Structure 1
Amino acid sequence: MTGKKILYFVIAIGICLLAGYIGSYYTTPEIPTWYAGLQKPEINPPSWVFAPVWTALYILMGISLYLILQSDLRKQDVQFGFILFIFQLMVNIGWSFFFFGLHSTFFGFLAIVLLWAVLLCTIIQVWRFSIPAAVLLLPYFVWVSFAGYLNYAILVMNPGIFGISF
């Protein structure tokens, strides 16, 4: 790997970790307070599990982004895959804002359903030009599917107006 490729590799991972950091701005202060007070399903992992899992997933996303950027960005299918990737990253941040920032299990659920759909589209699109980049997103897809279930269960177990509690 040349110096330029190493730099792109680090930047790609950094972009994804930055998205995680931005999301954690909304998440971290709410874990011991608002989130701790919610009713959760028995299958909900302990709170300490989320940070290392998400960190690993953001690193995998970063490697995937690097591989996408190593593809021919002049091709429309690659450009579309890149746009979808960036969009799912923004929706990922949005989920943290809605669920934790606004304390809305309802809008959080809508955001995670959108994230799931956009992520699936991203994987399918990226698969067309970089199977390794798409495969690296599969653990993230599994985790988002699980998180979607948890979000739904928390929504149902904690009724309120639009799932918003103060």
Structure 2
Amino acid sequence: MTTYIPALTLPSSIFNSAAASIAFPIALGTAVGYSTRHTKRQYLSWKQPPLRPPPWVFGPAWTLLYGTMGYAAYRAVYLGTSPLNLPYTISTAKHGATLYTIQLGLNLAWMPLFFGLRRPIEATVDCAALLGINAYLAYLWGSRVDELAGWLLVPYVAWLGFATYLSAGTGYLNDWDLSDRSVEKKDI
């Protein structure tokens, strides 16, 4: 189990408001996505593993996932830190808030690692770490704080498993070299 580290944890004002908890990860994810928005051509130029979705899927999928994870965080931390709870529940909710903050940072680092810096190995390690942290967080919050919060993280954990596959598969199929390549122009 992790420790509650206030300096590494989002302010309680974010967790105490459902709207802020939902909007915060969506806003950060949108900002990172916008800063790396010129990746469609790059994405299409690389060899991709089977089942890869078209680029337009990622924006709506991540918006939904960020909103859902934000609501899960709100439920777990706001409800879990209620003074009416047992000290163990309050402590677990706070530990989860630190884990949530760390995973959010790792999540936001993936796109710049993969597309901006073209570091597919590091991006895949980042994604695998996200998968493990969030699986644990879903268990922790779901079994010890708020069952619904745990279940709300399940789609995110599933998507992270798929994202890890895509990240590793793309890296492997491109010999872990994702340097810029031009897309072949098709005759019209």
Conserved in 2, the CA contact under 8 Å of 1:105 and 1:151? yes
Gaps of at least 5 residues in structure 1 are 1-6
Tell me which structure has the larger Cα radius of gyration: 2
Match of 2:122 in 1: 107
SS, match of residue 71 in structure 1:
helix
CA distance, structure 1, for counterparts of residue 112 and residue 126 of structure 2: 10
CA distance, structure 1, for counterparts of residue 110 and residue 97 of structure 2: 20
**CA RMSD for the aligned pairs?**
1.7
Match of 1:117 in 2: 132
Task: Find out whether 1:70 has 2:84 as its counterpart.
Answer: no
Conserved in 2, the CA contact under 8 Å of 1:105 and 1:155? yes
Conserved in 2, the CA contact under 8 Å of 1:104 and 1:165? no
Conserved in 2, the CA contact under 8 Å of 1:106 and 1:155? yes
Task: Find out whether 1:48 has 2:56 as its counterpart.
Answer: yes
Q: Which amino acid aligns with 2:73?
A: L
Task: Find out whether 1:24 has 2:33 as its counterpart.
Answer: yes
Q: How does 1:1-166 map to 2 (within 5 A)?
A: 8-32=17-41, 34-73=42-81, 75-127=90-142, 128-160=144-176, 163-166=177-180
Conserved in 1, the CA contact under 8 Å of 2:107 and 2:127? yes
Q: Which amino acid aligns with 2:72?
A: S
Deviates more, 1:41-50 or 1:139-148: 41-50
Shift of 1:54: 0.8
SS, match of residue 48 in structure 2:
coil
Paired residues in the alignment total 157
Q: Which amino acid aligns with 1:56?
A: L
Normalising by structure 1, what TM-score? 0.87
